[in-house]
Structure 1
């Protein structure tokens, strides 16, 4: 009889025999594959943290058929005199091998520019277990690859009833990963004058099943990208201005929270948090104290942005679309535009 409990910490499974066995099996497999070699800890090196993940594998009837314990690690960190470089090259290589994509042809973008995925009632159905496995694996890869964030989120919307067109889109993302396997995040050391900023963008009504818009945000600390977001909005927007204003409000809220948290940690900022938006109407709504005809249908909670701008706590600035880096979080782009961002 296998355990039906999924432990949340390292101390819980020590009391459950089935999980002790699962942990030992994983450690034995690690030793068998020569995954690592134990050495004394260098005095001048930082230790990368890791954790155990406990998951129950179930059959089609929902019965537990296996307790799986995994040592969760995959980030590779290289330190230089100017900063650090974070990547998941090893994890990406294993991912391609796992899904038999090692010999596939690499592509320059995760999706073709004109691709619009729908429910696709006419296409052949594919195994949902395989599809969800691919999506889950790709989601972990977004920890160091913000360039695939939108695309993974897009194909994840069809997990309940995946079709061949959705699987092909997911495999194209894997082909893109193959061509960018050495890509990662480069963080340079902080400068004396620290700034914090966000880029917000929206693609109006692109989701074909429900016509909801997609929000995209990138958050910058100094010159480093420290957080990013690509998410379908909760409500249907009646205009581009409304979609842009909603994401700008969300980005502004997150930006002020980041400033408060970093200030508590001892960082100080000489300038107001700056929010870059490429929609003039959304900026006008945020700065107009009277009821604007374009904003009367916008949920009142999104006027948080207007309140903070009027109080001088946030600076919202127009940015031409060509310079909007959050554009990569909202839709497929042409190869040149994609590689530039």
Structure 2
């Protein structure tokens, strides 16, 4: 848990999956934990490399969701790293609190969670360095991006919780959005 939270964003998804079973672990769960340890042992030389010359003063974030990825509960998982100077400074990977009805909704909730990370990282960095321009939030779902930019209430999006609309309100003045096909890969366990 410590590695996933503090120094190794590449294992945070896998660790969150095995952490769900802490109260009643099975042999299969222990096998998954051993695979994570094996991966960490094989990648000891991996790390976060911050570069002074990589987009100086620019905060960049990504948000993504796997629609109904948990086969037992059908909940989606959100992932959202914030990058500065070429490496992650903050990241999240957790299961969404509710079951969603579309990929658009899953991505919209991921954008909402990512927005919280961007706000926190932006405040942190402003206290330490000079930022240039607005942070950039990248989202790879065109429908969710349209909803972020223009949250029209129509039949297909009316059910999305109001609390997720804060991302739309914040995005109008705090950062720029764009679509990105870039995927941040996490090891498969």
TM (norm. structure 2) is: 0.90
Residue among 131, 150, 170 paired with 1:269: 131
Residue 140 of structure 2 is matched in structure 1 by 278
Residue 96 of structure 2 is matched in structure 1 by 233
Structure 1 residues 192, 238: CA separation in 2 closer, same or farther (over 3 Å shift)? closer
Residue among 294, 299, 304 paired with 2:166: 304
Aligned-pair Cα RMSD in Å: 2.0
Task: Provide, for residues 82-121 of structure 1, a one-character-per-residue CA deviation record: whole Å limited to 9, x for no partner.
Answer: xxxxxxxxxxxxxxxxxxxxxxxxxxxxxxxxxxxxxxxx
Task: Provide, for residues 28-67 of structure 1, a one-character-per-residue CA deviation record: whole Å limited to 9, x for no partner.
Answer: xxxxxxxxxxxxxxxxxxxxxxxxxxxxxxxxxxxxxxxx
3-state DSSP class of the match of 1:229? strand
Task: Provide, for residues 246-291 of structure 1, a one-character-per-residue CA deviation record: whole Å limited to 9, x for no partner.
Answer: 010111122123213322x152322211100110010011111421
- For the pair 1:318 / 2:174, whether they are aligned, the reply is no
Higher relative contact order (CA 8 A, sep 6+): 2
Residue among 46, 49, 66 paired with 1:186: 49
Structure 1 residues 170, 299: CA separation in 2 closer, same or farther (over 3 Å shift)? same
CA contact (8 A) 1:256 1:273 kept: no
Matches of 2:11 and 2:76 in 1, distance apart? 18
Structure whose alpha-carbon radius of gyration is higher: 1
TM (norm. structure 1) is: 0.52
CA contact (8 A) 1:217 1:229 kept: yes
Matches of 1:140 and 1:307 in 2, distance apart? 34
- Within-5 A mapping of 1:286-301: 286-301=148-163
Flag structure 2 segments of 5+ consecutive residues without an equivalent. none
Matches of 1:216 and 1:172 in 2, distance apart? 21
Where do 4+ consecutive residues of structure 1 move more than 3 Å? Answer: 189-193
The offset of 1:207, in angstroms, is 1.2
3-state DSSP class of the match of 2:75? coil
3-state DSSP class of the match of 1:276? strand
Residue among 84, 90, 105 paired with 1:221: 84
Structure 1 residues 186, 303: CA separation in 2 closer, same or farther (over 3 Å shift)? same
Residue 257 of structure 1 is matched in structure 2 by 120
Matches of 1:289 and 1:242 in 2, distance apart? 12
Residue 111 of structure 1 is matched in structure 2 by none
- Within-5 A mapping of 1:85-234: 139-142=1-4, 143-189=6-52, 193-234=56-97
CA contact (8 A) 2:52 2:85 kept: no
Matches of 1:172 and 1:302 in 2, distance apart? 35
Flag structure 1 segments of 5+ consecutive residues without an equivalent. 1-138, 334-341
Aligned length: 188
